[in-house]
Amino acid sequence: MSIRRIGVLLSKELRYGFKSYFFIFAIVAPLIFTIFMNLLFGSLFSGKPKLGVINQGHSQIVEFLKNMESINLKEYSSEKELKDAVETGARDVGVVLGENFDSMIRKGELTKLTVYVWGESLLKNRAIVSSALLYQIRDIFGEKAPVDITPVSLGDADNIPLKDRFLPLIVLMAIFISGFAIPSASLVDEKQKRTIGAVMSTPATQGDIFISKGLLGIIISFIMGILILVLNHAFNAQFLLIILILFLAAIMASCLGLIVGAFIKDTASLYSVIKGLGLIIYGPGIIKIFPQIPEWIGKLFPTYYVMNPIMEITRKGGGWSTVNLDVFILIGIIAVFVAIVGVIVNKTRQQEA
């Protein structure tokens, strides 16, 4: 194995890969799907959390909140209207600022603030609104402004919005279409065009060829995973942990592509295999769309251990303690796939010899 030879082969893969149907499809398909879903649910260009306010005492805070670009603010005239808006999802969060709100804070009196929260709203939207409220209160009235915020959930907290139910499937598509299809299609293409023999006539080894094709799959898969999460406003404070899981997922997808590509001889057969493996790869994402299906069924699929940690972090605010078991299982699956690729490379090398 030579890093220089791998680099040369990887640059060749990048140059000629863009002409491949599979390469183009792997990039375009997830993007089109996520853009369609976001446009359908109106969230691609309006990712701001929606705050509803009743300003009974003409509080200064409301004027400052209006100037915040990170929040979509709307004022309501009655508490019933506000609660209805929150309960139906028209507003993520609703707050009633009483007539004496500002004066009580100035006097240093403990002020209780009831905040209505839509049960289906995203955790990040709630966090943004709560942070904005506290920031404005303390910025105007001082760091020690005595405010006690009590959240009240309205609507069905267990009912996941349809857009969020599709996100796991979109993420799996982004990672596995590129990570799986690109290296497998590249190997099959080399076989069909009989160019792999020409490559082998150079100092390049079978290991160099497999690694270069695998690296291309990892790179594209990793980039697509990040891009899809960005388009869906799914990144949060656990950025590095999400990046780690995406990287591991890209390795898993690429190894699977190499394994399949090593055994397939033509493009038609590859199409059939990709269709056949679709249910196994995207099964956990499909199950997430239908909450009635027990979650334990999803755990039977290897890709569950890619999807679940990402969703736990991006949608539920989980951290390492929440997802570490899934990550360790994912690493174990990757180790098995890498071992299989190693066996294939050794057998191919022996056959060539």
- Convert the pLDDT of each residue in 6-18 to its tens digit: 777 777 777 776 6
Its sign, for the CA torsion 294, 309, 161, 132, is positive
State how far the alpha carbon of 180 is from the alpha carbons of 93, 95, 214, 351, in Å: 41, 48, 9, 25
Report CA 104 to chain centroid distance, whole Å: 43
Token pair 């060749």 is at which residue?
12
Q: Residue 190: exposed, middle, or buried by beta-carbon count in 10 A (0-12, 13-18, 19+)?
A: middle
Farthest-apart Cα atoms in the chain, separation? 87
What is the rounded distance in angstroms from the CA atom of residue 20 to the CA atom of residue 160? 38
Average pLDDT of the chain?
81
Half-sphere exposure of 162 (CA within 13 A, CB side): 5
Q: Tell me which long-range contacts 279-285 makes (C-beta under 8 A, separation of at least 24).
A: 281/172, 281/176, 281/180, 282/169, 282/172, 282/173, 282/176, 284/168, 284/172, 284/308, 285/168, 285/169, 285/170, 285/171, 285/172, 285/173
Which stretch of DSSP H or E encloses residue 85? Answer: helix 79-88
pLDDT-based confidence at residue 350 (cuts at 50, 70, 90)? low
Mean pLDDT along residues 285-306? 87
pLDDT at 42 over 60: no
* Global pTM exceeds 0.85: no
Mean pLDDT along residues 248-256? 94
- The pair of structure tokens assigned to 273 is 């295999």
Strands (E), 31-121: 50-55, 72-75, 93-97, 111-118
* Domains, the chain, ordered by start: 3-41+161-352 (no CATH), 50-154 (3.40.1710.10)
What is the rounded distance in angstroms from the CA atom of residue 4 to the CA atom of residue 63? 60
pLDDT-based confidence at residue 45 (cuts at 50, 70, 90)? very low
pLDDT at 320 over 70: yes
pLDDT-based confidence at residue 270 (cuts at 50, 70, 90)? confident
Token pair 């670009």 is at which residue?
69
- The pair of structure tokens assigned to 269 is 């057969």
- The pair of structure tokens assigned to 110 is 């403990």
